[in-house]
Amino acid sequence: MSQENFKEALKQKDLPIGVFDSGVGGLTVVREIMRQIPKERIIYFGDTARVPYGGKSKEIVTRYSEQIVRFLESQQVKAIVVACNTASAYALEKIEKKSKIPVIGVVKPGAKTAAEVTVNGKIGVIATEGTIRSEIYKRYIEELKTEAEVIGKACPLFVPLVEEGLLEDPVTDEIAQRYLSVLIDSGIDTLILGCTHYPLIRRTVGRVMGEQVRLVNPAYETALELKNLLQEKELLQDEKPMLGTNQYQFFVSDGADKFRYFANTIFKYGVLAVKQINIEEY
Ligand code: DGL
C-alpha cells in the first residue's frame, strides 16, 4: 500500500458510523454498538417529529429514510445502521442499492438469532403494524429454517408507551397482557423484539410471556454484524478517538430536550447536547 493510500485508509476508519430510527428506539442499538465496538464514533438521528413510522405506508417510510440517509451521508459517515425495523422492512433494499457505503438493517440479524435458538421451531415476532404486514421476519426465518412456524403480532401502543417513558408501569403491563396472550396460547419458545423500542420494556414482556420463552433482541446481533462488516472492509477503528473529540453526536427533528432526557436514562455516560435539524431539507 502506498503512503497516500495508507493515509486515506486511516482517514476512512476515523469517520463515524451513522445510525437512525424514527425516535428513541434506535438508542438500544447504539447502546449495543458502544458496548461491542467502543472505539467507534457514532452519529445518531432520531426522527422525533415524524415518529411513529409503524402505521405509515411503505412509500412514506422510504421517503423519510432516504432523507435521513442523505443527512447522514452529508456528515461523512463510513457506514449506516438502519436501527428501525419498520424502515429496515420497507426501505433497506432501496437504500442499499443507492448507497456507496455499507448499510445494514436490524431484521436479518434478529431473524438469524431466532432461527438458531428456537427448539420447537415456533417463533413469535412482536413489531409495528408495518413490519408485521411486510412479513419480512417470516421470510428471512423460513429461508434459514424451512420448517419454522412464525407468528406475528403488531403491538402499536408499545411505541408511544416507550416514548412517554412508561417503561415500568401498570398501563404497560395491562397492554402487554392483551397483546401477548395470543402468543402465549400459540406455544412459541422464542420471541423476537422486532421493534427497536421494545427492548426498553423487555422486563414487562418477559414477565408476561414467562421464563420458558426466550426473548431475542436483534440489537446484539446487529452490532456484531456491523463489527464483522467493518472488519471485512478494513474500516474498523482500532484507536480511541483523540481527546476532545465528540465521540457521540445526537440529532433529532423535534423535541431535543425531551430526547436528551430520555437518552440519559439509557446510557451510563452523560448525553449533553442534542441538536435539532430540519430533515425536510435533505
Ligand atoms: N423503532 C421502530 C421500529 O423498530 C418503529 C417505531 C415506530 O416509529 O413506529 O420499527
Tens-digit pLDDT profile for residues 22-45: 999 999 999 999 999 999 999 999
* Nearest atom, ligand 1, residue 195 CA: 4
Tell me which of 195, 209, 216, 219 is the catalytic residue: 195
Do residues 106 and 83 touch, judged by C-beta distance below 8 A?
A: yes
More confident residue, 156 or 268: 156
Same domain, 35 and 92: yes
Ligand 1 center to 66 CA (angstroms): 16
Q: What is the pLDDT of residues 168-217, one digit of tens each?
A: 999 999 999 999 999 999 999 999 999 999 999 999 999 999 999 999 99
pLDDT band at 5 (very low <50, low <70, confident <90, very high): low
Residue range 146-161: average pLDDT?
96
Query: Which grid coordinates are listed for 115?
Result: 432461527
pLDDT band at 254 (very low <50, low <70, confident <90, very high): very high
| CB distance 118 to ligand 1 below 6 Å | no
* Nearest atom, ligand 1, residue 86 CA: 10
Same domain, 208 and 121: yes
Number of domains in the chain: 2
pLDDT band at 223 (very low <50, low <70, confident <90, very high): very high
Tell me which of 15, 69, 84, 193 is the catalytic residue: 84
Same domain, 93 and 225: yes
Same domain, 127 and 214: yes
Range of the domain at 60: 3-105+221-281
Beta bridge pairs of residue 19? 44, 81
Report helix, strand or coil for 249: strand
Do residues 102 and 128 touch, judged by C-beta distance below 8 A?
A: no
Is 195 in the active site?
yes
Q: What is the pLDDT of residues 81-93, one digit of tens each?
A: 999 999 999 999 9
Is 155 in the active site?
no
Ligand 1 center to 206 CA (angstroms): 20
